[in-house]
Amino acid sequence: MTEAMRSGVPDVSVVMPCLNEVVTIGGCIEECLNTFTSANLRGEIVVSDNGSTDGSLEIAGSLGARVISVPLRGYGSALLAGIHACRAEVVVMGDSDGSYDFSQIPLFLAKLVEGNDLIVGDRFLGGIEPGAMPWLNRYVGNPLLTRIGNVLFHSDVRDFQCGIRAFRRETILGLGLASPGMEFASEMIAKSAMAGLRIGQVPARLRKDGRNRPPHLRPWRDGWRNLRYMLCERMAQRPVERSIYTTSPPYVSNEKSCRGNSRR
């Protein structure tokens, strides 16, 4: 039994941003819970909701996830609020569309134990299922943004845009992350590199998501936002800034949709 289990604090918190993921969120939560059990982890799941209206929250709550409502729209806004809401020192983030394999959580945690501060998944090494990533993203967008990011921030990350990551909560919050949109992914790596944090990597499987609607990602718009962020951050050569939030971003804990969500 870990010290965290004895104290009642989770070993790990998993944060899932959510916006109308009724088809897939249940499977993602169940996969996390099964992983907690098989790895003997005390874990919690925080679903950071950005305004779902399709029943996603009811499913999440019925399976034991802790649901918070985040009024400020955006991928980064949802994740940042979710990270602030976590109770564990170690946090894993991953999308709730079924594309990431949460059974790989122990691999990420093991890499953190080696002394790293941030662990980034590598989809190109872990394997990409047919149809899981558009051709333009796979062969042009992601490799280009990764190359640019590594040159600008003197990092050696193989997949700048991978959405499944693990990190030490207080260390990452100390970077002052503030990007509200998809550029949050680049900001986390850029500021970690500039702060001299140790960044590790593990292979991450990417599955074809299970959604029955178009993805929230807009390749051209979001690619430009990531590129613009990286160029502006590098040209400004700014020190690590404090977050736009003095304590934590605004969110509302939806207690009616929650139950105890830790498993041994």
- What is the CATH classification number for the domain harbouring 15? 3.90.550.10
Quick check: is 78 in a domain? Answer: yes
Distance, CA of 127 to CA of 148 (rounded, Å): 23
Distance, CA of 236 to CA of 209 (rounded, Å): 37
Quote the tokens at residue 229.
């962020």
Quick check: is 243 in a domain? Answer: no
pLDDT, residue 5, reads 46
Q: Profile the chain (264 residues) by mean pLDDT over runs of 10 residues.
A: 61 96 96 98 97 95 96 94 97 96 98 97 96 89 93 95 97 95 93 96 92 62 82 72 45 46 36
Quick check: is 232 in a domain? Answer: yes
Helix and strand numbers, DSSP H then E, in the chain = 11, 8
Quick check: is 52 in a domain? Answer: yes
Quick check: is 60 in a domain? Answer: yes
Q: Counting every residue, how long is the chain? A: 264
Query: 121: number of CA atoms within 13 Å, CB side?
Result: 27
* Structural domain for 25, as ranges: 8-238
Quick check: is 250 in a domain? Answer: no
Residue-wise pLDDT for 144-193, tens only, equals 999 999 999 999 999 999 999 999 999 999 999 999 988 999 999 999 99
Quick check: is 257 in a domain? Answer: no
Global pTM? Answer: 0.85
Quote the tokens at residue 221.
């718009």
Distance, CA of 60 to CA of 124 (rounded, Å): 30
Quick check: is 221 in a domain? Answer: yes
Where b means 16+ CB within 10 Å and e means fewer, 174-210 reads: ebbbbbbbbbbbbbbbbbbbbeebebbbbebbbeebe
pLDDT, residue 256, reads 37
pLDDT, residue 160, reads 95
Within 10 angstroms of residue 238's Cβ, the number of other Cβ atoms is 12
Within 10 angstroms of residue 59's Cβ, the number of other Cβ atoms is 22
The domain tally of the chain equals 1
Q: Cα 233 from chain centroid?
A: 21
pLDDT, residue 137, reads 85
